[in-house]
Structures are given as C-alpha cells and as structure tokens.
Structure 1
Amino acid sequence: MADAKADTTGPEALIGVWKMVSCHAEVEGEAEPRYPLGQAPNGYLIVTKERRLMALITTGEPRQPPKDDADAAKLLRTLMGYSGRFEANAERFITTPDTTATGSYVGEKQVRHYKVEGDRLTVRSGVQTMGLIPNRRAVTVNVFQREH
C-alpha cells in the first residue's frame, strides 16, 4: 500500500480504499450541476492490486428498508453500485462491470479519467446516459478521499 500512495501519477496510485467526498453530474444543456445522490453522498470505491474495482455509493440521508414495491423502487434511486475488472494507465481506467446494483452496464466497458493529488482522487466519466437521471446525458464527477 505504501507504494500506491507514493506513486501519484500511475495506475498504482488508484489502489486502496477511497471514501466518497462529493458527486455531481454536468448534464448536457444545463448550466448548473445536479446532485443525483444529494449534496452529501456516502460510499466507497475499493481498488485492489489484483485489478478489481468495487463501488457502492448511496445518498447521505437516512434510508429505511422498503415496506412495499413502491418503497423498493424509491430506494433504488438512492444508490449505485458495481464491481468489475479494470485496466489503467496514468490518465484513465476502464472497468468492465460483471455485476451492478441495477443490471445496467454489465459487460460494457466504462471509461473514467482520473487524477490523484495526494490523498484525493477525482474521477470523471465521459458523456453518458445516467440511470439516476433518466433520458439525459451527463458527465459525472466523483471526488474521493483515501482512507487510512
């Protein structure tokens, strides 16, 4: 782990446990960013040296177990999660999810651009259709803090 922390320019810098700090979407045609998981999302990005990536992010608001189908549908809009193998270079990583919270994107390469600055990781998607903002295309920007 010490090597990953020391190398802030290459893919080894990604290895570790990262706590979500912020998440927003830059939606095409809109001047202001959207916060699909609220202003204070909660979650983690875990990246292993074996090239496995796992993310689970939820809204920061308290959530309750669903009592019926309507509650379950609402609850699904409060989270995102996936896991898959990834490849990386000094500027981007490409994850191929083999499981996701919603079934979306399984087997589809997900390209993310990243920058590690000390213990801070910023991850930007390309323009994509988002499950949390239906029928709109956006760039997502996620900021994480390395957990020690």
Structure 2
Amino acid sequence: MSGHNTKLHGNWRLVSFETERQDSKERTQPWGAAPNGYLMFSPDGRMMVLVTAQTREPGNTDEKVMALFRTVMAYTGRYRVEADRFIVKVDSCWNEAWNGTEQERHYKLDADTLEVSTAWMPNPLIPGNPIGRAILRLQRES
C-alpha cells in the first residue's frame, strides 16, 4: 500500500552523514562530523532535501566553484511511502541525471530521530568503486 506516513511530515535537521562500505562495514564521514542540511516532508506529498559539507568556502574561482558542487546534494519531488521506504519522483535536482527518476530510500523512525539510507550501489569516490551506501541521521525540529 502506498501513501504518506504522517509521522514523517515536518522538518528534519541533519545530524550526521556517513558512507558505509558493504564489504568491510567501514563507515566514514566524507563531509565532516557536522554537515549542514535539512529534509522536509510536506503533508501535500512533496519532499525536499539539502545537504552540504561541514567546511565550504565561497566560490570565487573555477576550482572553488567545482568544490562547492562536489559538497552539496539537493533534490525535490513528489513522494510516496511503501513499508519502510519512501520513493521520490525527482522533478528538480542538483544532479541533472536524477531528474525524472525515482529515488528510493529506506528509513527508520524512532520518536524524533530519523535514519535514512540509500540502496547499496558502487561508490564512484573510492578506487575500484566498492559497493556502499549513504546513511543520514536527522532530528525533528520542534
């Protein structure tokens, strides 16, 4: 059954962003111990997320602008909930390749703490592209 989980509605502040390797279970924090960001679920079925690395500098050179792009993730779209997953039909995104796609995320909700994880996929940032996933922990804003 699809639909919305009203317990997800609201604003969630990012607490941590980790990547995990499937083979070794090793976890790293590629964007620092205190990244910045929010995840929002509206009652009318829209989800928006913005995540940025902990340390960023204004982009006044080509190199710095490229570094800014590599340390941000942002997308939005209509979402539906199926069991322990939410699926977003992306209609606007920082990564043009995701526009029009469905992004599926697993979630665990424990009171005012939300854990969101991606599917296992090759990690292009690590030599050999080992299989990994991203795990975000968020806290409900009051």
TM-score when normalising by structure 2:
0.86
Partner of 1:93: 86
1:76 aligns with one of 69, 92, 114:
69
- C-alpha separation in 1, matches of 2:5 and 2:83: 6
Q: Given that residues 11 and 90 in structure 1 are in contact (C-alpha distance below 8 angstroms), is that contact kept between their aligned partners in structure 2?
A: no
Q: How many residues align?
A: 137
Partner of 1:141: 135
Which segment drifts farther, 109-118 or 22-31? 22-31
Alignment deviations for residues 24-55 of structure 1 (CA, whole Å, 9 cap, x no partner): 11124344212222221110001101110000
- C-alpha separation in 1, matches of 2:130 and 2:69: 18
Structure 2 residue 12 is the aligned partner of structure 1 residue 18: yes
Partner of 2:121: 128
Cα displacement (A) at 1:74: 1.1
Partner of 1:54: 48
Cα displacement (A) at 1:106: 1.4
The change in CA–CA distance for 1:130 and 1:55 in structure 2 (over 3 A counts) is: farther
Give unmatched runs, 5+ long, in structure 1: 1-9
Percent identity of equivalent pairs:
34
- C-alpha separation in 1, matches of 2:123 and 2:98: 10
DSSP-derived class of the 1:140 partner: strand
Structure 2 residue 103 is the aligned partner of structure 1 residue 104: no
Cα displacement (A) at 1:92: 1.0
Q: CA RMSD in A?
A: 1.8
Alignment deviations for residues 48-101 of structure 1 (CA, whole Å, 9 cap, x no partner): 01110000011122x232112111111111111111111103411001111111
The change in CA–CA distance for 1:17 and 1:128 in structure 2 (over 3 A counts) is: same
TM-score when normalising by structure 1:
0.83
The change in CA–CA distance for 1:103 and 1:30 in structure 2 (over 3 A counts) is: farther
Q: Given that residues 23 and 131 in structure 2 are in contact (C-alpha distance below 8 angstroms), is that contact kept between their aligned partners in structure 1?
A: no
Detail structure 1 runs of 4+ shifted over 6 Å in the superposition: none
Cα displacement (A) at 1:23: 1.0
Normalized per residue, the structure richer in strand is 2
